[in-house]
C-alpha cells in the first residue's frame, strides 16, 4: 500500500463513516458468538494502523501483525505495543495460541501471494472452537481506481470465500456481503468512472467527508449492522465470513 494511504487511514480510522460502520458490522457479527466473552487471546492479522486492535480489546489481549513497518509505527503512536512485523502467510506464533483471529481487507492484497496459505495459518494458530472473521472486497467487476491505490490483487464473491474457508478446515458460520445499502450508488459511480476513462488513475475512495454526510452514512451502516443480526445480504461492496475451527 502507498505510504500516503497509511497516513490517511491513521487520520480517518476512528471517525470516518466507512471505518466506523464496518467496524460496527464486524463487532455485531462477533457479538452473536462472543456475547459475554472476556480474557480471550485475539490476533488481528494485517492490523494496519491499529484501529481494529483497539476495538477488539473488549475481548481480551490483542496482538497484531502487519508486513509494513510504516503501519506498525502508526500502531505504536496509538500505544499498541503487541503489533509485530510479519506476513499473514507465516505467523510468528505457536499453534493453538488464539481464541479469535480477524483479518480485514488483507487477503485481497498484492502482497499476499497465497490466500489459501494465509487461511491455513489462521487455522493453525487458532484453538479448537476458535473463530476467524474475514472481510474482503467483493466482485471483480467493481474493480476501480480505488483498487489501484490500495494494490488489490483480487475481489471476491461470497461463495468463493466460503469455499476457500471450508477448504482450509473451518466450519463456516456466516458468509454474507456487506456495505449493501449503499451498493447501488457505489456500483454506479464505479461504472461511470470506467466509462469516463478514469478507471486507471489511482485514487482511494476513502476521503474526508463533511460532518453531516459522515453522520448520515454512518447511520446507513448502523442500520445494515442491525439487518446482519438476522440475515445474510445478497450483494455488496465487501464479503464478510465468520467461521469456526473444528
Q: What is the pLDDT of residue 35?
A: 76
Q: Which pLDDT belongs to residue 199? A: 45
Residue-wise pLDDT tens digits, 65-84 = 999 999 999 999 999 999 99
Which class for 205: exposed (0-12), middle (13-18), buried (19 or more C-beta within 10 A)? middle
What sign does the dihedral 17-18-23-25 (CA atoms) show?
A: positive
Domain assignment of residue 60, given as a range:
3-245
- Is residue 177's pLDDT more than 80? yes
CATH number of residue 71's parent domain: 3.40.50.150
In the predicted structure, residue 213 carries a pLDDT above the cut 70 = yes
Give this prediction's pTM: 0.92
Mean pLDDT, the chain, rounded, equals 93
Going by C-beta distance under 8 Å and a sequence separation of 6 or more, which residues neighbour residue 194?
Answer: 144
CA distance 126 to 110: 25
Structurally, the chain folds into a number of domains equal to 1
Amino acid at each position: 500500500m502507498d505510504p500516503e494511504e497509511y497516513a490517511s487511514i491513521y487520520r480517518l480510522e476512528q471517525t470516518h463513516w466507512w471505518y466506523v460502520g464496518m467496524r460496527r458490522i464486524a463487532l455485531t457479527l462477533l457479538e452473536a458468538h462472543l456475547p459475554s466473552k472476556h480474557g480471550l487471546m485475539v490476533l488481528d492479522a494485517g492490523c494496519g494502523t491499529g484501529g481494529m486492535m483497539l476495538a477488539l480489546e473488549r475481548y481480551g489481549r490483542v496482538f497484531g501483525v502487519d508486513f509494513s513497518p510504516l503501519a506498525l509505527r502508526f500502531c505504536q503512536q496509538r500505544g499498541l505495543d503487541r503489533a509485530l512485523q510479519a506476513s499473514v502467510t507465516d505467523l510468528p506464533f505457536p499453534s493453538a495460541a488464539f481464541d479469535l483471529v480477524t483479518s480485514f481487507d488483507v487477503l485481497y492484497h498484492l502482497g499476499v501471494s497465497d490466500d489459501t496459505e494465509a487461511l491455513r495459518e489462521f487455522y493453525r494458530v487458532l484453538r479448537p472452537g476458535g473463530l476467524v472473521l474475514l472481510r474482503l472486497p467483493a466482485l471483480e467487476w467493481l474493480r476501480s481506481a480505488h483498487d489501484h491505490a490500495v494494490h488489490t490483487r483480487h475481489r471476491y464473491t461470497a461463495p468463493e470465500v466460503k469455499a476457500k474457508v471450508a477448504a482450509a478446515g473451518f466450519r463456516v458460520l456466516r458468509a454474507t456481503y456487506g456495505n449493501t445499502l449503499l451498493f447501488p450508488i457505489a456500483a454506479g459511480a464505479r461504472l461511470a468512472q470506467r466509462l469516463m476513462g478514469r478507471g486507471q488513475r489511482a485514487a482511494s475512495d476513502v476521503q474526508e467527508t463533511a460532518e453531516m454526510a459522515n453522520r448520515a452514512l454512518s447511520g446507513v451502516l448502523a442500520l445494515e449492522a442491525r439487518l446482519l443480526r438476522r440475515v445474510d445480504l445478497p450483494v455488496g461492496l465487501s464479503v464478510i465470513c465468520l467461521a469456526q475451527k473444528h
